[in-house]
Amino acid sequence: MEEDTATIQLVTILLLAQDITGLNDFLMTKPTRSPNFFIFLVVSIVAMSLLLLGLEQFVCQANLSKKIIEYFHPQRRMEPKIKKIYQEFKLMKKIKKIIKLLLVIIEYDNIRKLQRDQCESDLT
């Protein structure tokens, strides 16, 4: 039953789409296409071709291919730099932990001194 309603809905949509020229071209509900569609296709293909040619010319003039190959060369990879940065980051985390521990120890020592001073004042 649901398949029948879905089929009816699809046929209804296709029948309604025949009156819309843009949808008609893409849904191919009519055998002929408007000349505007072919003009759009030609303009799109020409624009993409010009864009690709421009990018290719830019890449060749800037020697980007050589620069990219040099940049990712095994001896010049980013891996050593990334490892160094990661080690520095780990070292900074360790230093932060040590500083936190030192602050806790100093705070604990201050509390002990206050307690000792309080005890001495109570005794006198």
Q: What pLDDT, in 10s, does the model give residues 20-71?
A: 666 566 666 555 567 777 777 788 889 999 998 888 888 777 777 777 777 7
Q: Which residue has the tokens 């191919």?
A: 28
Q: What pLDDT, in 10s, does the model give residues 71-105?
A: 776 666 666 777 788 888 888 888 888 888 888 88
Which residue type, as a one-letter code, is found at position 93? K
Q: Which of 52, 53, 32, 50 is nearest to 42 (CA)?
A: 50
Handedness of CA 28, 33, 34, 38 (dihedral sign): positive
pTM value is 0.32
* CA distance linking residue 60 with residue 73, whole number of Å: 19
Dihedral (Cα; 94, 100, 104, 110), 10-degree rounding: 120
Q: Which residues contact 33 (CB under 8 A, 6 or more apart)?
A: 25
